A and B are shown apart, each in its own frame.
Chain A
């Protein structure tokens, strides 16, 4: 609600105005003279004041002056009596907004008030507009400055050279990049260099033609045009130029050129080439074969190592050969499947997989293969395989085995020599007893001596057989047979000897033991060795003991044969020696070859032999044979 101040000395006029104006929706303040009116004005600051001109004391003109003094935007409407036109004009000169005559008509009053309100509204709008405009200008200026700075910086600090020239060829922009390329400072360039001086002779004209011509990006533009610039020092430098014409109001005003220093590009290019060559060489000269194929199986990399393994040249392999041709039938498919599976080194990888390569000549070469899938942006693009030629490894392996065998033979020879000496010792003593028996005619001594000789003859023949068996390197002949039958044979053979020493020989056979492909003779001698050892694990004066020979079948482990005795057992030290050294614990009775032979035969069957023993409690040998 708009406030209105009415100042009039006549109470009737005040009342009339208040009633009228209040009914029109104004909040009406009243005062009966100038001073009290001004007091209210300064306190309540009404935008519109109605004042009588003729008042005792302070008149309306003075009120107007003081109001305007206080607030020049306040609208003052003066109320004049008849014939007070001079005062009214005076009031208008003092920026009264209007005057109305007494007696006050409603129409005159509302017109005056409307005008006053309009003036207030216009002034307010004008003020708002002015304020907005200032803000707008301020924002715009800041933005422009920022933009200019940014563009300036962009231009100045661009790695590329940026040069602009006007239509006459005078340079107007020359950035740091251009300084680097051309060798001029910006000041030099802008003050004294013509655009044609930046190029070898004729090149600037050529470039201009190119910009206007349709090639390299269309008329008015030039994109990635390889050319040369001329430096301050008179040298030419390769650059890559893009240029565009600038227009203002439809008029061509300038040409801007962007220069890429090709030395850098060339250097990067060279670096890339070097790097590529390096990697290429790495791949090419790797001792391992490296072969890559695309998802369709087409060979895309075939290095020297691969050439060595396969016998194909890289040209042959890369001229459309499929990776499937590098393996025996079905193998490539299998390798692919394994690479995708988790089984060998995780999905997408294959680690140390033993396979065979099919060479150009159709030979099969043992290889150790690792492979990996290559992805580019999530898409499988190739499979790379690394091949180790296992021929060399296999050859070294067999050499190693051979040398180990020779070392073992050396140890065996020492053991054998020891055995032979013991046997000869017995024979000599025996022969001496025979001599003495004959000499003194002692039949008993003669018999004992001869007995000793005979026993030692048996020993040496057994030893010879053992040696042959141990030295044999050709693989055993395997046939399907019943292991339980072999156990039975051995036990029957040894039963008598066990009985002599009062040893119980127990058999515990698992009827579910299947027929197994083995070298029956070999397994027979293994068991015979173990049972013989078990019997000899008891002192000759033994008062009885037990040997249990058992068989067992487990689906996972295969067949398990066990020979367990309750004899004297072995120390930890001895347990190690019985397999590692050809060593006999039996003096002249043993050849020291029994357990090594047993172990050798079991290993040839892909099985294992294990010993558990405790001194004075007994020993237990366990043979595990795969099904």
Chain B
């Protein structure tokens, strides 16, 4: 069974925010909610790096662990989704997530929280695939249509890779080998587990 993953290649991301726009448009995400955003490190300084961040669909998801109503579930493809009918908007998942993925619409005064909203890997929710109800709550279900997340497909430099983890990690590995640097993937260890050999040194002269 394929396992869905995102990887963002920091050597290729040009901070165009095309992924953010594609996500907003595809899923009709409401104002104030950003399922995906581009983070730039050392902005304005030579050698700045940008990465596109959203839910990483963690293998051991902390949001799932802390949810008091157990509204999260993982699909057979490893996509972490949640049931908005069960969500009570407590915000525990927001505090637990190391990527700031869970979002809360400001539904009223005094910062009142609504139902949590987050990246679904364009895989919808528990409702019937591609139904009106599913779209209204979770947005597009592109996976059921034989497509991949809009953000990854729309990325002009193919910095943001999404899809079968085996395939995209092979693509990323080829890139890192060809350019001889940039093998590190930010957030990978946090989301998907630590490497088997943490003592392994980066090749000499490598820069990420």
- The reply to whether chain A is a binding partner of chain B is no
